[in-house]
Amino acid sequence: MRFDVLTIFPDLLSSPLQEGIIQKALVAEKVSVHTHNIRDCALDKHAMTDDRPFGGGAGMVMKPEPIVASLDKIEKEAPGGHVILLSPQGRPYNQEIAQELSGLSHIVLICGRYEGFDERIHRYWVDEEISIGDYILTGGELAAMVLVDSITRLLPGVLGCTESAECDAFSQGMLKHPQYTRPREFQGHEVPEVLLSGDHRKISEWRFAAAVQNTAEKRPELLRQRYFSPAELLILKKYKVDASLCLIRINRK
């Protein structure tokens, strides 16, 4: 997987790439991340990447020329990248989209600033727009790193445990079950007995029921598209999960 990130502040991306799972993936050459300073492709001596909007109004708008020149430069070096504009107008990012994008081999991320981009960039030079949430950041660099991080960890061989990504919250359409570790008892609060039983079937059933209950209480909207098989419904009944907290949809296949 290759990432190219267009930004006017490339140093903002350096620290996150030097720590943890991402840094290990870079060293192992599972992924490569190339940052490009949009100013390097500016056309004037002042390296201007923004200008006042036509028609007036507050703030500055990112100019099209340096961005397109940067994209052309990347295309010559590594053709065929999937170009993503980080924008509040984009489709809301989630685990399903991360999984979808992890199947690509080359992603180009454009980080915005100020009041946004010249509309011609939106319309003619990107493959899609993505938003990481309904709020405004000072720039798209943090959003770009969210995509780099969430996609990289899904690539084969990046995580130490192959089951980790498959069992993540959201990967199963709901939140994860509660987790416990040592000590067995802490300040009067004990680990659920079933997790100490050694019975893998019972543990699996408990974790499933606990995950549904956790999701129903904290993020019930996630369950609206989640179908439950008759066997799963029996588990929910066995563990007395309050089905009224969520819309139960039955898959009869």
Task: Write out pLDDT tens, residues 196-247.
Answer: 999 999 999 999 999 999 999 999 888 887 888 889 989 999 999 976 655 5
User: Are 35 and 134 in a shared domain?
Assistant: yes
Q: Which of 50, 153, 205, 207 is catalytic?
A: 153
Peptide bond into 183 cis (omega under 30): yes
Average pLDDT across each block of 10 residues of the chain; the chain has 253 residues. List them in order.
97 93 96 97 91 92 96 97 96 96 98 92 97 94 97 93 62 88 95 96 96 92 86 92 64 55
Looking at the DSSP bridge assignments, the partners of residue 91 are 130
Q: Is 221 a catalytic residue?
A: no
Is there a domain that residue 161 lies in? no
Q: Which of 65, 75, 149, 168 is catalytic?
A: 168
User: Would the pTM of this model clear 0.85, i.e. be above it?
Assistant: yes
SS (H, E, C) the chain: CEEEEEECCHHHHCHHHHCHHHHHHHHCCCCEEEEEEHHHHCCCCCCCCEECCCCCCCCCEECHHHHHHHHHHHHHHCCCCEEEEEEEEEEECCHHHHHHHCCCCEEEEECCECCCECHHHHHHCCCEEEECCCCCCCECHHHHHHHHHHHHCCCCCCCCCHHHHHCCCCCCCCCCCCCCCCCCEECCEECCHHHHCCCHHHHHHHHHHHHHHHHHHHCHHHHHHCEECHHHHHHHHHCCCCHHHCCCEECCC
CATH code, domain with 39? 3.40.1280.10
pLDDT of residue 228: 87
Q: Is 129 a catalytic residue?
A: no
User: Are 89 and 192 in a shared domain?
Assistant: no
User: Are 142 and 194 in a shared domain?
Assistant: no
Q: Which domain holds residue 240?
A: 185-250
Q: Is 168 a catalytic residue?
A: yes
Q: Which of 40, 75, 115, 149 is catalytic?
A: 115
Of 128, 152, 176, at which residue does a domain stop?
152
Of 131, 152, 173, at which residue does a domain stop?
152
Pair 42, 14: CB distance under 8 Å: no
Is there a domain that residue 179 lies in? no
Distance of CA 38 to the CA centre of its chain: 24
Q: Which of 88, 149, 178, 219 is catalytic?
A: 88
If we measure between CA atoms, which residue out of 110, 95, 127, 114 comes closest to residue 41? 110
Q: Is 115 a catalytic residue?
A: yes
